[in-house]
A and B are shown apart, each in its own frame.
Chain A
Amino acid sequence: MEIQFKDVSYIYQENTPFAHKALEHISFTVNSGSFVAVIGHTGSGKSTLIQHLNGLSLPSRGEINIGDFHLSADGKPKNIRDLRRKVGVVFQYPEHQLFEETVAKDIAFGPKNFGVEQEEIDRRIEKLLPAVGLPKEILERSPFDLSGGQKRRVAIAGVLAMAPQVLVLDEPTAGLDPRGQREIMDMFYQLHQEQNLTTVLVTHSMEDALAYADKIIILNKGQKYMEGHPLDVFKQAEKLQEVQLGLPEVIHFLNQYNERFGTSLTYQYQPMPELAKEIKKRLEVGSHE
């Protein structure tokens, strides 16, 4: 589903002394099937933006189109339940929201609420488990007896079981160990591709933004600060520096390398061995001059 923000502003507690502008004049389009990373400091408006994607918040000004759904200050669309079924949100630390007696019941809670038949839910769960990397035996266990990484997978399965078309991920790897982080992100990326999802990833990790996104939106103090393809955004180190954001490490290193050796090696998603080859080649060429 395409996501379109048109001049969206959001003001908390408008018309009170506590009024606070969380989003100001935000416009952008995320194409259907795109993987977009939203980056910004704490307080930049990322969470507020996410809340607009499934109608938890409505814009104070401007309008939002998500597929056929239309959100504006005029009120909730009548079919907001459909919107919430189609836009799955994985909030931060989603495992804190597990509550059922068994894993199976917890995963089924969302779709059941939306009136999906138990048979269909069972079918979905059967397909989902291998995708999120959980064994079948886990279904009858209490979610509270699982490890942190497993709990998170169960919570994610609960969102996926609603068969969303848009997946919104709010720092989905926070607190996991390096392997857990990589596994979860690879899992989302695979789902994104296989099910042709539109994915919105909120992250602090420039590395993840570079590795998975085809578009980056940077927020600063409630405003859109930059937007573009990751390789283009990360060419603008100084502009990022102005809002205290860094570069992915590989690009930062290559910049330093180029400065020191007078070369112009650029990052084009080369795997690490390829990068090592290129560096070696430049060293050899350089020494013959």
Chain B
Amino acid sequence: MDRKKLVEFKNVSFQYEEEGALVLNQVSFDIYEGEWVAIIGHNGSGKSTIAKLLNGLLMPKDGEIIVDGKRVDDDTVWDIRKDVGMVFQNPDNQFVGATVQDDVAFGMENRGIPREEMRERIQRTLSAVRMQDYLITEPHRLSGGQKQRVAIASVLAIAPKVLILDEATAMLDPTGRKEIMHTVNDIQESEGLSLITITHDLQEIVQADRVIVMNKGQIWEETTPRELFLQREELREIGLDVPFVAQLTDELRKQGVPLKEAALNHEELLEELWKFNSKM
């Protein structure tokens, strides 16, 4: 398939201190237009460093990073940041405006977007995250999930090509998490963005097209969620887990139930069991 590469990591290495351990060691991968990639790994595996390198918050020690054809360096970093939007973990650290609409306007003002255009984008992006009824609400009146949705709208308003969610749901309750994933799903379909989610949440991984698994600063595996969750023991060894459905599938196989597919959700597993049942 002839898809456009939007992000290229070429043999990227990084360390925070001279002489220090390599946080990333010769990491190479591509991310295509419109693709949803989950990056997972244990705490300290290098996931978040990848995000920071992607929009020039950090610069690689070795190797190069290309975003939409441009090499990330000190000269291009401001352009790159128009293309790469990021939402971080803590909803309280990301609000700059006194109201929701001010917050969304902030990034656009910095980029000199005309007032009329700004108005239109505020409406559109807040609708996209279903926060259009909160234009003049003050941030402290919002829940964590609502704050993160506004943070996503603020990023969308500058029309990035890649949206990175760096553990953006980690501090939210289950309701907030669902809100965000629902929003992200909608946006991915309507805007055709490339999406990179850095996460521990197994349900978030299931929704991605592709998964990059980091371990000790290196890529451990690059695959689909379905393939990945077949490797239960191996994942456990590097500090990760597989979802309930994958665990049960694994145990059922050990009991001699010949399940073919690796189910990703309850419905798929029940369907497989149903097939097995009618064959007996």
Please give the residue numbers on chain A whose beta carbons come within 8 Å of chain B beta carbons, in ascending order: 41-43, 147-149, 174-180, 182, 204, 244, 246, 249-250, 252-253, 256-257, 260-261, 272-273, 275-277, 279-280, 283-284, 286-287
Cβ–Cβ < 8 Å partners of B254 in chain A: 273, 276
* Nearest opposing residue in chain A for B276, CB measure: A283
Which 9 A-B pairs rank lowest in CB-CB distance, beginning with the nearest?
Answer: A276-B251, A287-B280, A179-B239, A178-B241, A249-B244, A177-B42, A276-B252, A280-B255, A177-B43
Does any Cβ of A come within 8 Å of B170's Cβ? yes
- Tell whether, in the assembled complex, residue B251 and residue A250 are in contact, meaning their CB atoms are under 8 Å apart: no
- Tell whether, in the assembled complex, residue B171 and residue A175 are in contact, meaning their CB atoms are under 8 Å apart: yes
A260 vs B244: C-alpha distance in the bound complex, in angstroms?
19
Could you say which of B167, B240, B244 contacts A253, with CB atoms under 8 Å apart? B244
* Nearest opposing residue in chain A for B278, CB measure: A287
26 sampled A-B residue pairs with Cβ under 8 A: A41-B173, A42-B176, A147-B44, A148-B43, A148-B44, A176-B43, A176-B200, A177-B41, A177-B43, A177-B240, A178-B202, A178-B241, A180-B43, A204-B173, A253-B244, A256-B266, A257-B270, A260-B270, A261-B274, A275-B251, A276-B252, A276-B254, A279-B252, A279-B273, A283-B276, A287-B280
* Smallest beta-carbon distance A139→chain B, Å: 21
Cβ–Cβ < 8 Å partners of B245 in chain A: 253
- Tell whether, in the assembled complex, residue A260 and residue B274 are in contact, meaning their CB atoms are under 8 Å apart: yes
| Chain B 154-171 near chain A by CB (<8 Å), digits 1 or 0 | 000000000000010011
* Smallest beta-carbon distance B253→chain A, Å: 9
- Given A175-B89, A176-B43, A280-B255, 11 other A-B contacts at CB below 8 A? A42-B176, A149-B44, A178-B239, A180-B239, A253-B269, A260-B274, A272-B248, A279-B252, A280-B252, A283-B273, A287-B277
Knowing A178-B241, A253-B244, A283-B257, say if A42 contacts B173 (CB, 8 Å): yes
Does any Cβ of A come within 8 Å of B127's Cβ? no
Cβ–Cβ < 8 Å partners of A273 in chain B: 251, 254-255
Does any Cβ of A come within 8 Å of B217's Cβ? no
A148 vs B252: C-alpha distance in the bound complex, in angstroms?
36
Does any Cβ of A come within 8 Å of B192's Cβ? no
- Tell whether, in the assembled complex, residue B248 and residue A179 are in contact, meaning their CB atoms are under 8 Å apart: no
Does any Cβ of A come within 8 Å of B190's Cβ? no
Within 8 A of A (CB), among B218-239: 236, 239
A177 vs B40: C-alpha distance in the bound complex, in angstroms?
9
A179 vs B240: C-alpha distance in the bound complex, in angstroms?
6
* Smallest beta-carbon distance A46→chain B, Å: 10
Does any Cβ of A come within 8 Å of B97's Cβ? no
- Tell whether, in the assembled complex, residue B270 and residue A256 are in contact, meaning their CB atoms are under 8 Å apart: yes
Knowing A41-B175, A42-B144, A287-B277, say if A252 contacts B266 (CB, 8 Å): yes
| Chain B 166-188 near chain A by CB (<8 Å), digits 1 or 0 | 01001101111000000000000
Cβ–Cβ < 8 Å partners of B43 in chain A: 147-149, 176-177, 180
* Smallest beta-carbon distance A186→chain B, Å: 14
A283 vs B252: C-alpha distance in the bound complex, in angstroms?
11
Does any Cβ of A come within 8 Å of B112's Cβ? no
Does any Cβ of A come within 8 Å of B114's Cβ? no
Cβ–Cβ < 8 Å partners of B137 in chain A: none
* Smallest beta-carbon distance B49→chain A, Å: 13
- Tell whether, in the assembled complex, residue B277 and residue A272 are in contact, meaning their CB atoms are under 8 Å apart: no
Knowing A249-B244, A272-B247, say if A174 contacts B255 (CB, 8 Å): no
Could you say which of B41, B170, B241, B248 contacts A276, with CB atoms under 8 Å apart? B248
Cβ–Cβ < 8 Å partners of B144 in chain A: 42
- Tell whether, in the assembled complex, residue B200 and residue A250 are in contact, meaning their CB atoms are under 8 Å apart: no
A91 vs B200: C-alpha distance in the bound complex, in angstroms?
21
Does any Cβ of A come within 8 Å of B256's Cβ? yes
Cβ–Cβ < 8 Å partners of B200 in chain A: 176-178
| Chain B 131-144 near chain A by CB (<8 Å), digits 1 or 0 | 00000000000011
Cβ–Cβ < 8 Å partners of A149 in chain B: 43-44
